Amino acid sequence: MGYIRNAVLIHAPVEDVFKLTNNVRAWPDLFTEYVSSEVLEETEDSVTFQLTTHPDASGTQWSWVSTRWTNAERKSTYSKRNPTAGPFKQMELRWWYDSVDGTSTVMTWEQEFSMKPEAPFTEQAATDHLNSQTKIQQQVIKERIEQRCGTAPQAEETYRGIIVANYKPGSEEQIVDAFRRSDETDLPRSIGVTSRHVWVQGDIYVHFVEARNSLPTVLKEYAKDPLFQEVKAELDQYVTLIYPDLPPSAKQIYQWRCQD
């Protein structure tokens, strides 16, 4: 039996968070992974709906039917996925919401599941994937709800780092393509990268990154993320650190900014 549990703090009242996240018709605008959500049947405290994902890296789209029961008094939900489609033999989801000081909400998700014998991946692989995706989607939902409710905290400090390396001249298109495909996923958002600039000259490669965390922290904490490993493996074919035994980011020793 696979199991994951994740929580996120959202700076918005529990009533608003509960209402926004339980409007399944709007999930394609709240999540980044769904292309459509069609309500099939609805009662006062339950809804049966069909979700369809965006195509994954291999071009595969997943679609399934779920029924979701809502407890408005407790601010919680229970969902069960119809097992006739997809790789899961059984999937149960529990969400609950707890108010913090009347102004914020802790939203917790719990998932229990088992795989069909013919599933194309193992239970452990599914656990790792769902755990990673849940964290990404919770962060996306947090940001979108805070924006809609006007409760987003002030901008965080921006960290900047530069990676200097050698690269194979003539591989510019492959490098650009690897970054473009990666930046179209949720990876940059999940690791806090807000912008990147890549330059080449001769056989020198310079990668300038702005992020909500320092570059060494980003590289250390997300080194095992499957999306991170995928783009790194691709770039390693073309880019080689000049000083592989030194910290991955060049050290800044001087800066100046014009003050108008």
pLDDT digit string, tens, across residues 133-149: 899 999 999 999 998 98
* Confidence band of 12 (pLDDT split at 50, 70, 90): very high
Instruction: Report pLDDT digits (tens) over 142-180.
Output: 999 998 988 876 656 788 889 999 999 999 999 999 999
C-alpha 128: how far from its chain's center?
A: 13
Ranking 11-15, 23-27, 59-63 by mean pLDDT, the lowest is 59-63
| Residue 93 amino acid letter | L
* Residue 218 pLDDT: 75
Instruction: Report pLDDT digits (tens) over 201-218.
Output: 999 999 999 888 777 777
The neighbouring-strand residues paired with 17 are none
Q: Edge-to-edge, what's the strand order for the sheet holding 159-167?
A: 193-201, 204-211, 159-167, 239-241
For the cut 70, the answer to whether the pLDDT of residue 132 exceeds it is: yes
- Of 69-83, 151-165, 242-256, the range with the highest mean pLDDT is 69-83
* Residue 259 pLDDT: 62
Mean pLDDT over 215-222 rounds to 75
For the cut 70, the answer to whether the pLDDT of residue 256 exceeds it is: yes
The domains located in the chain, with CATH, are 2-149 (3.30.530.20), 159-241 (3.30.70.1090)
The CA dihedral of 143, 14, 137, 94, to the nearest 10 degrees, is: 180
* Confidence band of 125 (pLDDT split at 50, 70, 90): confident
Q: Which of 151, 119, 132 is nearest to 20 (CA)?
A: 151
* Residue 39 pLDDT: 97
Mean pLDDT over 219-246 rounds to 85
